[in-house]
């Protein structure tokens, strides 16, 4: 019984290789996106991390930033 499930009527090699390829592809995609996210976060902190309260208030008053903040709070 177990051998029939394990060998899948001779298709085990194909099924397991396809499953492994898919799993490795998703893992690779996750790692690439994670690295890019960390890079962008570091860029953001380097550029805007030292904003004082006056500059932050000025940024909130800009039209595009108001639109972004309004959309972010509605979601």
> Distance between CA atoms of 45 and 56, rounded to whole angstroms?
14
In the structure, how many helices (H) and strands (E) does the chain have?
Answer: 4, 0
* Segments of the chain with pLDDT less than 70: 1, 50-51, 60, 65, 72-75
Token couple for 50: 């030292």
Regarding pTM above 0.75, the answer is: no
Contact 39, 46 (CB under 8 A): no
Q: What is the model's pLDDT at position 53?
A: 75
pLDDT the model gives residue 31:
98
Residue-range definition of the domain harbouring residue 29? 2-74
Domains in the chain, number: 1
- As a whole number of Å, the CA-based R_g of the chain is 24
Mean pLDDT over each residue of the chain, to the nearest integer? 82
């Amino acid at each position: 019984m177990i051998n029939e499930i394990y060998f899948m009527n001779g298709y085990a090699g194909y099924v397991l290789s396809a499953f492994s390829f898919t799993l490795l592809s998703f893992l690779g995609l996750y790692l690439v996106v994670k690295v890019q996210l960390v890079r962008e976060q570091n860029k953001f902190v380097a550029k805007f991390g030292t904003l004082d309260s006056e500059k932050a208030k000025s940024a909130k008053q800009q039209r595009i930033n108001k639109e972004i903040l309004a959309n972010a709070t509605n979601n």
